[in-house]
Each structure stands twice: as structure tokens, then as C-alpha cells.
A and B are shown apart, each in its own frame.
Chain A
Amino acid sequence: MNIKILDSHFREFLKTPATPKEVKEMLSLTSASVERVKKIGNDFLYDIEVTTNRVDLMSVLGVAKEAFASFSQFGKSAKYLPPKFNKPAAGTEENISIKNNPKIVNRICAVVLSVNVKDSPKFIKDRLEASGIRSLNNLIDVTNYIMREIGHPAHVFDFDRLPTKTIVIRESSGGEKIKTLDGKDYVLPGEDIVADDGEGNIIDLLGIMGLENSVVTENTKRILFFIDNNDPQRIRKTSLALGIRSEAAVLNEKGVDPEKAYETLLRGIELYEQIADGKVLSPIYDIYPNKAKERKILVSSEKISQVLGVEISDSEIKNILTKLNFQVSKKNNLLEISVPTDRIQDIEIEEDIIEEVARIYGYHKLPSILPKVESSIASKYTNSFFWEEKVKNSLKYWGFTEAYTYSMVSKDLYEGTESDAVKIQNPLNEDLVFMRRTLVPSLLKVVNENKAYDEVKTFELANIYHKRGDDLPNEIITLAGIVKKENASFYEVKGIIEQLFNDLGMQGVFKKSQKSVVGASIYINKEYVGEIEVLDNNLIDFELNFQALIKHAASAKKYKPIAKYPPVIEDLALAVSESVETSEIIHEIQSKSSLIVEVSLLDQFADTRTFHIVYQDPNKNLTTKEVSEIREKVIKSLKEKFSANLK
């Protein structure tokens, strides 16, 4: 949340020679981030980002107090000038009956005043509008002005529109209808904090927004000025349910310090007297059943020094904390810290105190030193990341471009049954509903969306998600790719996968696919790892279970002595039926002699396949006779098994 405050307003509570630019710098480094300083006329406007735990900083006073603690650390003098409030004399002309419900409201401060409605003076208007609040009339402006100055929201009723002179605080029952002061109708969800006129009519939605039936108008003569401190969780629930994000709601849901309620009332009365001819007509009511909590925290100064990484003395700790309004005393060897009431919400443990000391001391003053500690786990060089990088780089240098597509897919792109689906309950749109079970559909979409390109080679390495009952799904790292080009060749895609396998130190077995009409299923050591799919003449895809794959990957190489005797190499052209698979023939040739060390298909034309055969004996030179004997054996068996004829 952000707060905008004017420099002139800020300096009403802090005397300092620091320039606005210095104010910005010092606050940003030690407290809340001043995102911008904007010059407005002779004044400057600070736009400050306040974190949600620091609702105490959502006020001019809060920021001034922080500045007071921070600036001296930079060698800038700063004097905090706290506001002084006089309690006005109680009136006797009017009174109101307030019945609180202490379960939901911590404190109520209220008073009835006679007033004159008119425009606010210029300085009020200027300060409000600079801080992003529209000036309406003096009666409403006062409530906003004190909210900005002190940080506690306030409300004003037209007293004459409350004929019962009674306010009963209660929980709403579900379904009650209200009209807020901006004319909008709402149905309350139930358990909201409301004010009732004693006759069942709701006259205020406490801590969030006033209602049309009791709001001040241009005819208002008397007001009920009302400060309520509420249960933050109920405020948040109601505000979210109704979608009313008023500034009061945003502050109240974070828990405003009830100690501030009374000061806020006094400051409001003072302002009504000044700018609305205000006269107190009633007693000053202060119903305070839930006193602000007290909290004491024990810390050791050694621990503070250890976390900061530099030595910091007890006196310096005490100096910093005291300026932040904490009380510090020694207890045994520890420091006992009393937390100020407006910090009870966010200061709970020792670490919170350490943060207070450290930030005011100044993070910028701490040195930068790398930790001198190493991980206790032995590092494995060839982990999954190693293989991922290797494979990605190979594909890159073979002309593939890497895609990153969303893990969630539409119903159209999802492959599988709905009962197998890891489905998102609250999808952002219908394109992102299912966690995908396959990658190829996402890549096909990429190809489709790049129609202008006749040739596309793309790949992705990402998780797919397989449902595992009620447990977390199995996330499987998967590699998929697509080749799109005119007359794309199955062998080109197979070659890519074979070469990947070669680089990973393993061998794949390709079998006719059981899944697709045209394609191959791929196995490593009998484990199924993936698929090549020929979609049409111009489109071939592959998808591999990368996780399964790299179990077989090996970076360790085995040394084989270099052969002492030269090999005999020859090519054998065979006429053989196309129904016989090349791998069967190779296997058959190889099985005939241990001296055949390599067999590969050299080329294929019509029914003729030429095989390249390497004969080698590690212990001696092979003679022509030995080779021809093996050859005869090979030819004979090929003829018997496959009716193959030598050409």
C-alpha cells in the first residue's frame, strides 16, 4: 500500500535540515521506500510504499517518528515534535446511547457537535488532494485529514438523521440489505460489523463505509463524530466479500492501534472547532473494552551482532530502540524490550527486534562478505542438468530452435482422459486448464502459429504431469521436437535421435510403432523411452521421456586398445524382399562370426541393399581365405533365412 504526504505536513512534526531528496534517500534505506518525490508549487510530495505489516506508517505522524529514529544515523539532526491535544469541556445539551459488542469492536470514541457545513480552507484541500483524497466539504474532510495525519480512520454521521439517538453494535445476519453513502446497494454476507439504530435499521458498515441513510449532507447542523476500532479479520472478510476497498477498510483490516482512537477524536474536535465552527454538545464518549496488548521480548545482544555480522554494543541497541519508542531494560544477561502499542501487530519475536536494530543501524553500513561455508552434499557432475544442457546445445547446433510453451493447455491440446487429468480449479482462461501429459501438441501449436516459415525445427524440454491418485502428480522431464519441411524424412529425425543417443553414450532400438500409423517406438535396454511420429509428408515429431533416457546415459568412456592388425573391409549387395527389416539382416550377418566387428547399411535402392562389413582379428592379419570362408557362411545363411541373393 502507498501513502502520499506533503513535505510541509511532514515538517509540522519533524524539525530537520534534511532536504526532500535526503528525506527520500534516508527513509528508503532504513524504513519505508519513498518511490518518488514530486515538486508541487513550493511544496514536495512523497509517494511512500508501506509494507502491509507497517500500518503504523500509514500516517504523517508515523513517518515523522520513523524519520526521527533514522536520520541521526546519517548524521542529520532531527527533532520529533509530537502533537499536543487538549481535552475540550464536555457538553450537556445532547447525548447518545452507545451499546458496544466487545467481541467485534475494541474501542469507540464519539462526541456530538454542532457545525456549519462549508468548503474546507485551502491548506486542508491542498493536503488532501495531494495525497489522493477528494475534498468534499469540511465535515467529511476532517475525517480524512486526521486519518492521513494520525492513521486512524474516522466517521461522521448527521446526528439529526439518527432520531433514536441510539447506536447498537452488532453482527449482521446474512442477507441484510444496505445502501452505502455512494448510493450503491449491497447484500451483507453475514457476521459483518454494523451499527444499528436500536430498531433493527443498519446505519453504518463499521470500519468500511458509511451509509446513505445517516451520512452528512449540505443541510447538516449537528454531527456525531465517531471513531471505531474493529476486529481486523472481520473487516477484511466483509471488505473482500462486498468488494469495497475504501482506505478505511484497507487500514482497519491490518489492525490499527486502538490507543490512537482517542487522540484522533481530540484532533478531530480541534479541527471542527477551527474550520466548521464546531461546538461540543455531548459528553465525550470513550468505550474501551479491549485494551491494546502489552508485549515484552527478550533478546541477546550477541544474537543481534551475529545476525548483523558486525559487533553492535548494548548502548547502541538501546539508543536505536528507544528512538523507535521501544523501552529497553537489562534482565540478567539479556535485553528486555517492551513493544510500543502501535507495533504489537508486527513485532512478536527476537528476529523482529533484530530487524528494527539492523535497519536503523543501516544495511548500507554493513560490509559485503561471501559466506565461508561449503555445501555438505557431494556434487554430481553428470546430473540431469548436465544432460539437459548437453542435449539442448546439440539440438541447437543441429538447427533446432528452442520453444517455451505453457505447462497448462486447453482441452483441445490435452491428450488423455479427463479422469487422468491434473486439472486447474481456477484457470485464468480456457487455454490454461489442464496440466499437459504430452509436449507435442504444444509444439504443433508453435508450428501452426509460425505459418510463414516453410521450414521449422523446434524443440522443448519441459515437465509433463501424470496424475498419481490423490498424491502429487508425477512430473516427468520430457524432450519433444518437430521437423516441418517439404518431404520431411523419417530417417533425418531418427538420425537426430540416434546421434543424441551416441553423444549420451547409449544405443536405442527402434521398432515399428504400436501407437502411430507411421513411426517408431524407441527402447533403450528394453525400456520404452519414446516415439517418432510421421504426421504427414511435411511434419514429423518425436517425444522422449528424458528422465528415463538419462538413467542410461554415460559420460564415462571405456578405453579399447587400438587394433594392431588392419581390418578387411568389403561391401555386400543383396537382393532381398522389402518385408525383411534391415536390423534383422545386420543381426544375422553379425551372428555368423566374432571376426565381423561392424555391419552397417550403406545404401538401399529398390530391392537391393548394400551392407558395409568390417572383418578384423585382434591377434593377426586376416587372410583372403579366412574372409571368404566367413563371407560364404553369411551368404548361405542369408539365403536360407531371407531368400536373399548376392548381386
Chain B
Amino acid sequence: MPKELLKGNVAFAEAAIRAGCQAYFGYPITPQTELLEHMSSRMIELGRTFLQAESEVAAVNMVYGAASAGVRVMTSSSSPGISLMQEGFSYIAGSEVPAVVVDVMRGGPGLGNIQPSQGDYNQVTKTAGHGDFHPIVLAPSTIQEGIDLTVLAFDLAEKYRTLVFVVADGALGQMMEPAELPPMRETAPDRPAWALTGAGGREKNLISSIFLGADKLERLNQKLQAKLAEIAASEIRYEEFFVDDAELVLVAFGTAARVAKSAVQALRREGVPVGLFRPISLWPFPEERLYEISEQAKGFLVVEMNAGQMLQDVRAVVGRRYPVEFYGRMGGAIPMPEEIDGAINDALAKLDDSENKVPLEAGNGNVRNHV
């Protein structure tokens, strides 16, 4: 397919359609609304299911229903809407049905604003609903990557019967970039054996997240944890940029990583030993690779469009050993390359001053087990 100039929200929607998405349920919220709008015409043209729900709460429960019927289904929203959908995420996780969610993050807390933000990092990776579960969380930093990860999201959701998030932000949702869409896949002709299709000629199927006996619910949780462990072992994704000989490694995802990459590129031209480590899977977080990098780097600088949420994950891996500096903007602001330059210079200056190095404490050599 040739490259075309595509708006992020439209590209994510069209990628989902081409990945074989059979049903979409959503609710308008800026800055993701173009995704819903694109679905409202294309899904109908293709004879697939589109429905604008009365709320995000209803939308996610419609997704839960369609997922229980065994079709490829998706919803999309932005931060406050994702908060409302948490009830459904937890039920979907407990019932082990596959579903895809695109979160085009905006500034919070509260009604916040409609500017780009990464304030949902904790919400999507750690607190997506009550109980013990994590969705797989994929964070693109370009529109092309958003397309590719949306397609991947459907495959992973089905493979693991789990919830998969693609998290962008208002900038990625609203901007236009040249990108290539994948070819149209056929939608699946058959439903999985576990799906609700009517108990004709077979035992009845049940989709449920209720297990009243503590023993039964613990068994479900053990099964979910085993699945999460398998995902954590198999679905780590990240990008490295000039990391090999970097003394200072920036860690950033999504839009913040784009800006960080520009800053690193400019400083490398001047011979400054900086690099960028960009987690693509935010859950599972690429902690092993980050730990390996920490064996050769001297310090870390986390850049985010929030108050330091991924920062905690980076600190959990390398923070007891090395200084982890942070530069963040909040409230919908995007850091400029010059600001990141300044933060890099400050971090490098601190590295030069060996007094500031955090001593390796006894018993902390085995950081891998710590995280």
C-alpha cells in the first residue's frame, strides 16, 4: 500500500477495520472523536457493527457483550472516559474475553483539558480496574507505529484472551503524518468454541466473572497470573536509540519519546554521550533490558508528559543503583527539545559530580527480583 497523509485517530480506526474488527462501540470525547466518526461511516459501509453508546459505561459493557459473542471488538476513548470504563475492563479481564481499547490521553485530573497528556500511564498499566489484572499496553510514538500496534493489539487480544490497550495522546490522535495502512484482512468466519452463539447441539456456554467460593476465585486468579507471567515473558517491546555507549540514557514513551529523540539526535551531533530507551509495551514493562542497560550506563533521565508515573517503574529497576532524574510537563503541555536539552545538561552535570551517585546498598545487587 502506498503511504498517505493520515490523521492519527483516523489511522487507528482504519487499522482496526483492516485488522478485522467486526464491532465498535464508543462515545464521543475529545481528542479521540475522529476515531468514532471514522468508524461510524466505514463500519456501516462494510456491513459491520457500529454503535454510539449512551455513555462510556454502556460502551464498554457493549464491548463486553460482543466480545462474549466471540467477535473482534474495540472501543476508544480519552482519559475521563477510560476512568468510566474501568468497571467493564475488570469484568472483561475476569471473564477472559478479548477486546481492544484505544486511549487517546488528555490532561487531568478531573475534566482537565483536551490537550495531549500521558497522565493515564498508571491508570492503564496498573489500576485499570478492581482486582489483580493488567491489560497489555502498547504505546506508539508515530502514526505508522499506531497503525501497526493496533493490528497487533487484535492478535494479542485473541491469542491471550485478554484486554489490550493502544495508548496515544492528543498530539498523536490529532496530528497528520505519512503512513502506510495494512491490507484489508478478512473478518473471521467462525466464532471460538467458548463464544455465546446459542446452545444448539452442544453444552451451554457461560461467560462470567463471578466465582463465589474463595477456592474457585483463587484458582481463577492463579490462572490469570500465570497468563500475565507468560505475557510478561513473551510480549516485551522497546526501541533503543544510541543506547550502546550512552552515559546518560533517556527513558520516554509516546509523544514525549519523539521529542526526546530529537534532543538526543541533536546532542549526539555534538558528541554528547546520550541515548534513548523507548518502552513500546508499557505493560509488560521492559525491565530486564533496562536493567541490562543500567550495567553500562551511568545515569537515567525519564521524560514524561505527567508528574512522573513511568518514573516509578524505571526507579524500581535501576533507582537503587543509579540516579534517575526526571523531566515532566503536565496539564497538556508537551516538552520542547530545548527543555529536554536543559534537563540532559543538568543530569550530566550531576553525573560528573561523583558525590551525587547513589551508593549500591548491600543486598540490592539482585534488582531483578526486586521488581
A and B pair up: no
Question: Which A residues form the contact surface with B (CB < 8 A)?
Answer: none
Question: Which B residues form the contact surface with A (CB < 8 A)?
Answer: none
